[in-house]
Amino acid sequence: MPPPAVRRRSLLPLGLVLPASLALGLALGYPLVRQVVLSLQEFGLAQQFGQPPTWIGLGNYRELLGGDDLWPVVRRTVVFCFANAALTFGIGVGLALLMARMSRVVRVATQVGLLLAWAMPVVAAMTVFQFLFDRDYGVVNAALTGLGLDYDGHNWLIEPWSFFMVATIVVVWMSVPFVAFTVHASLTQVPEDVVEAAEIDGAGAWQRFVHVVLPSIRPVLVVVAMLQVIWDLRVFTQIYSLQRAGGTTDETHLLGTYIHALGIKGGDFGMASAAAMFMLALTVVLTAPYIVMMIKQEREH
């Protein structure tokens, strides 16, 4: 180690950090401040076109939290989020472990397939999935009917639970590749000599995985799981396009589409901002355990 340099006050580091922090502060801070301000105002279409808004304090929050529209949406969002995050995580990690054992050719083929799913634009994917699950001309109904099941003219989107099942398939299909790639990359970083040593010491495959491999990829798993929860909490495009294809809009709102309906469709930006603040708080609460875990890990190292 080099000897500690004599501390000299230099403005250079500050100067290097400042532009980036300013840009970040503006890009993240302005919308947030605006959102807080809006949530405290009566801000409708007329205000959007230039009328001065009125301040109503916590009026929007009272109406939002006191009404009976929000809570079913929150329940739905949380359940959908964790179901999707868990499925994605499980399938993604499983695939990553599998990939580590595949022959080169098969692995490359799998990776190309995953990459294609990952690279597919959401709207294009949604169009394809809508075709697949179409009531009259969909492949899924045709295939199930071909198997002798009574799925002729079955409407997949009309019942909320099967609407969300289709949404889950799309969301999981699109997010598995990220998990699989990231975890696979971290698996290649597990030092082989340690695993070998454990084997020599008589650890079985399962013991090696739990006690050697898992601890060394844990930081990656935590980050991936947290990102997945955040993404699945904010899911929007998939639900929005499925709502346009069918189903009952009011029964299939998740927080993202609910806020969109309040603001952009309904022209009540004050309420929409209040709901967005609520969603922000929810995200923080739900991801807090992961963040704590991450901070702990940092300390351990």
Give the residues lining the site for another protein (CB under 8 A).
Answer: 44-46, 48-51, 135-136, 152-153, 155, 157-158, 244, 246-251, 261, 264-267
Please check whether residue 178 is in contact with residue 118, taking contact to mean a CB–CB distance below 8 angstroms. Answer: yes
- Find the shortest distance in angstroms from Cβ 199 to another protein: 57
Q: Rounded to an integer, what is the distance from CA 6 to the centroid of its chain?
A: 46
- Find the shortest distance in angstroms from Cβ 232 to another protein: 24
- Find the shortest distance in angstroms from Cβ 87 to another protein: 25
Q: Which is nearer to another protein, 21 or 248 (CB)?
A: 248
- Find the shortest distance in angstroms from Cβ 147 to another protein: 19
The tokens for 112 are: 């190309």
Q: Which is nearer to another protein, 89 or 133 (CB)?
A: 133
Q: Which is nearer to another protein, 44 or 219 (CB)?
A: 44
- Cα-Cα-Cα-Cα torsion 89, 71, 63, 232, nearest 10 degrees, comes to 10
Q: Which is nearer to another protein, 61 or 290 (CB)?
A: 61
Q: Which is nearer to another protein, 92 or 263 (CB)?
A: 263
- Find the shortest distance in angstroms from Cβ 134 to another protein: 9
The tokens for 123 are: 């709207």
Query: Distance between CA 45 and CA 25 in Å, rounded?
Result: 28
Please enumerate, as own/partner, the contacts of 37-40 that have beta carbons within 8 Å and a separation of 24 or more. Answer: 38/269, 38/270, 38/272, 38/273, 39/270, 39/273, 39/274, 39/276, 39/277, 40/270
